[in-house]
Amino acid sequence: MKKLFAIFGNPVSHSKSPLMHNLSFQGLGYDACYTRYLLEDGSRLKETFFNLQLKGINITVPHKEEAFKACDVLDPFAQKVGAVNTIVEKEGKLYGYNTDAPGFLKAIAEFKNIKTILFLGAGGTAQSTSSILRDAGYIVTILNRSEARLERYIKDGFQTYTFDTFKPQAFDLVINMTSAGLEDDSLPAPKEILDTVIPTAKACVDVIYGKETPFLKLAKHYDKPTKDGSDMLLYQGIIAFEYFTEHVYIFEQIEPKMKKAFIL
Ligand code: NDP
């Protein structure tokens, strides 16, 4: 029987994941199909998964924490960060993984001689990526608009600042981890702060993809190498695909197929 996969989210109509995974299934000759599902009530994730007779799902905003709660078995990294974006069903049990963070780690690997990183933002994506970056040996500092979200990072031993408490200093990499610029024209931090940290950085990265955000525009104005969130999206998808297909294919086999979703 054809295996069925989906992405759950709200909204979900804009997601590139169905195209990425279907092109890969097709390109590799794997008998499966991937669709999208608008999940309004996150607490119904498990029930919906089984009702639709799915083999696996990706989970996007705002259900990654509900997805974490719905799993029977968690990969140690997903367990640590409390967010799941990939679920695979095996013998009636749901296995949960986080592929966003390893995808992001791979996406920034092209920038060499990087030690210190400034995160603009402290939401769910910042949470999982800060953890994996620290494990990989980077020193991550968090700057966020509101104080409330910083609590967890302080507990975990990260250096944190709000816009009011920030002390100008140099970082190798500055990363926009906020949704500022996604649907509006705002910068992720006051321009006076960005005007101090961007000029001294080696490169600037945005997790938003498919558009040039005001943050990346400013980084280009300072002649910095930049990168948007497309590779992160691609790599998290490839790693999820490896789980979906139970590691029958390796990364290098999946990449050229999935990449086609970005040039269509
Ligand atoms: P969350 O809602 O969990 O967190 C949002 C963060 O952005 C908070 O720190 C919030 O600050 C901050 N923020 C929002 N608007 C502004 C603003 N106008 N100015 C300053 N700060 C702001 O979001 P996620 O972590 O889930 O997602 C963050 C981004 O990552 C999104 O743009 C999403 O599209 C992108 N993403 C990209 C992926 C990819 O594959 N490329 C994968 C996953 C996410 P505060 O605490 O003050 O509210």
Output the six-digit token pair for 53. 């007779």
User: What is the per-residue pLDDT for 64?
Assistant: 95
Backbone angles phi, psi at 251, to 5 degrees: -45, -50
Is 186 a pocket residue for ligand 1 (Cβ < 6 Å)? yes
Report the C-alpha gap between 30 and 22 in whole angstroms. Answer: 9
The reply to whether ligand 1 has any atom less than 6 angstroms from the CB of 219 is no
Backbone φ and ψ for 106, nearest 5 degrees, come out as -65, -40
Residue 40 has pLDDT above 90, yes or no: yes
Nearest of 260, 234, 245, 258 to residue 31 by alpha carbon? 245
Query: Side chain identity at 205, as an amino acid letter?
Result: V
* DSSP assignment letter at 42: G
Residue 125 near ligand 1, beta carbon < 6 Å:
yes
Burial 183-202 (b: 16+ CB within 10 A, else e): eeeebbbeeebbeebbeebb
Tell me, what's the pLDDT at 1? Answer: 83
Task: Tell whether the model's pLDDT for residue 155 goes beyond 90.
Answer: yes
Does residue 70 have a pLDDT over 70?
A: yes
Can you tell me the mean pLDDT for 251-260? Answer: 98
For the stretch 206-247, pLDDT in tens is: 999 989 999 999 999 999 999 999 999 999 999 999 999 999
Confidence tier at 148 by pLDDT (50, 70, 90) = very high
Averaged over 135-161, what is the pLDDT?
97
Per-residue model confidence (pLDDT) at position 183: 87
Is the predicted pLDDT of residue 264 greater than 90, yes or no?
A: no
In the chain, the percentage of residues whose pLDDT exceeds 90 is 96
Q: What is the mean pLDDT of residues 9-19?
A: 95
Burial string for 71-89 (b: 16+ CB within 10 Å, else e) reads beebbebbeebbbbbbbbb
Least confident of 16-20, 121-125, 144-148: 121-125
Q: Which residues of 27-48 are buried (b: 16+ CB within 10 A; e: fewer)?
A: ebebebbbbbbebeebeebbeb
Distance 118 CA to ligand 1 centre (A): 15
Q: How many alpha carbons lie under 13 Å from residue 251 in its C-beta half-sphere?
A: 8
- Mean pLDDT of the residues in the chain: 96
| Mutate-to-test residue for ligand 1 from 60, 125, 130, 185, highest number of ligand atoms within 8 A of CB | 125
Within 8 A by CB and 6+ apart from 112, the residues are none
Would residue 2 show up in a list of annotated catalytic residues for this protein? no
